[in-house]
Amino acid sequence: MTRYVSRLVSVFVLSALASNSYGQQPERIVSCGPEPVAISYGASTTGCDISPSSDIDSFSFYGVAGDDVRILMRGNGFFDGSLELRDPTSALVTQNSCSASGSGCTVTLISTLTLSGTYTILASDSGSNDTSSYVLQLELVPSVAAEVIRPNSSDSDSSSPATDIDQYAFEGVSGDVVRIVASGNGFFDTKIEVVAPSGVIFHNQSCFGGGSGCSLTTPNLTLTSTGTYHILVSDSGSEDTSSYSITLQCISGSCPVLSTYAYCFGDGTGHPCPCTPGGPGQGCAHSSGSGSVLTTTGTPSISNDTLILQASSLPSPTVCLFTQGTGASNAGYGLVQADGLICIAGTIIRLGTKPGSGGGAAFGSGIGSDPLISVRGMVTSPGTRFYQARYRNNVAFCTPDTSNWTTAVRVVWAP
């Protein structure tokens, strides 16, 4: 078995990507340009080509020791794609190539990172004798940005580009028995992989599309440990795109619903802060020396919403902007913005602003005249949302932008 270890005020400007309200968050698209091209987890490229045939394109990303990464590249025609991964010391980690034979091919690298730092991906034609446009994809497996799928429910989405790997998460209890049904269209060879909480892939299954699509049903799967499981959906050969559907069936056991999950810490365990890390479990440090944290209380239920977002360890004085996104940036590791890490992505909604008091601020049910978070965030059906707070830090501390971010939480809304 292969092992994949997981691991208010106008001065605030939030950038957002288009997104569906639910389902998989959109692929983050990175345009090729001056090299090395910066790419992050969950991103694919556009506008990339190898020309002349001796060309070698370079990409860079920040990885954390223990990350399990997949890098895929698909070219056209007789282009025999070749990939190299080099670690922060420039040492070769792994390399691979594919043989196109006139119809293009997809080359894949799978690796567990052993160092934290900036990695380099080199893309070329293995024989340096063909040119082609290509798509490159970088994935962290599993990802905290995975869409949560509820037991005895279905989801539908599309797998595009051909190198895409969609990820779903569900909570499992040792002894529970589940079954997964998935289907795609056309020549899409539907493939699913089930990743246990330990990172071990304990089930792998695919079917042959053959032009008319295919459907697969797993045998009854008895879960062997308690924790968060992930389902990966892709085309078996990473050659075709398609819409697809997936259903998670609870055959027996408690099959609980995955709910709130804290992520994106600026404490040195993930993406580096622009300046100083915070303490364990905190965001990047602000001028008082510690980082700020976002937590939740209450119930995220559309019919009985009592959810409250609470920011703590804030500097004083401050103003705090609570925000909601439909995705997690950089597979949940976040990306540098201002003095901290922005950890939400997709369609971003500003929920409301609050002045800090005693190092804290809160928004949601029963807090003054605040609207319900489900109402302000336009959550109208069950699904996953991501929350974070941005706050003012008037003291010039890190970057010229006098603001910072808390940690983030993933919340699964129930009916």
pLDDT at 120 (0 to 100): 98
Instruction: Provide the token pair at 389.
Output: 């707070």
User: What is the 8-class DSSP label of residue 376?
Assistant: H
Indicate whether 8 pLDDT > 80: no
**Mean pLDDT score, 190-216:** 95
**What would the mean pLDDT of 275-294 be, rounded to a whole number?**
95
DSSP single-letter state for residue 391:
E
What pLDDT was estimated at residue 274? 95
Give CA–CA dist 133/50, Å, rounded.
6
- β-pairing, 57-63 vs 37-38, is parallel
pLDDT of residue 261: 87
pLDDT band at 396 (very low <50, low <70, confident <90, very high): confident
pLDDT in tens, 97-155: 999 989 999 999 999 999 999 999 999 999 999 999 999 999 999 988 888 898 999 99
Rounded distance between C-alpha atoms, residue 19 and residue 279, angstroms: 33
What is the per-residue pLDDT for 196? 96
Per-residue pLDDT, 25: 54
Structural domains in the chain?
A: 28-140 (2.60.120.380), 147-252 (2.60.120.380), 261-413 (2.60.40)
For residue 291, is pLDDT > 80? Answer: yes
pLDDT at 210: 95
- % of the chain with per-residue pLDDT over 90: 86
Pairing of strands 319-325, 349-355: antiparallel
Say whether pLDDT at 9 is over 80. no
pLDDT band at residue 61 using 50, 70 and 90 as cut-offs: very high
Bridge partners (DSSP) of residue 221 are 178
Termini Cα distance of the chain: 37
Quote the CA–CA distance of 9 and 323 in Å, as a whole number. Answer: 13
Q: Is 268 left (phi over 0), alpha (psi -120 to 50) or beta?
A: left
DSSP string, 368-390: TTPPPHHHHTT--SSEEEEEEEE
What confidence tens digit (pLDDT) does each residue in 354-382 have? Answer: 999 999 999 999 999 999 999 999 999 98
Residue 409 structure tokens:
């939480």
Token digits of residue 319: 């103003």
Residue with tokens 């690796």: 111
142 prior amide bond cis, ω within 30 = yes
Task: Report whether pLDDT(4) > 70.
Answer: no
- CA dist., res. 179 & res. 253, Å (int): 12
pLDDT in tens, 21-53: 344 555 689 999 999 999 999 999 999 999 999
Q: What angle do CA 58, 131, 84 make, to 5 degrees?
A: 30
Summary count for the chain: helices (H), strands (E): 1, 33
Separation between Cα atoms, residue 2 and residue 70, nearest integer Å: 13
pLDDT above 80: residue 296: yes
Q: What share of the chain is helix, strand, coil (3-state, %, to 5)?
A: 0, 45, 50
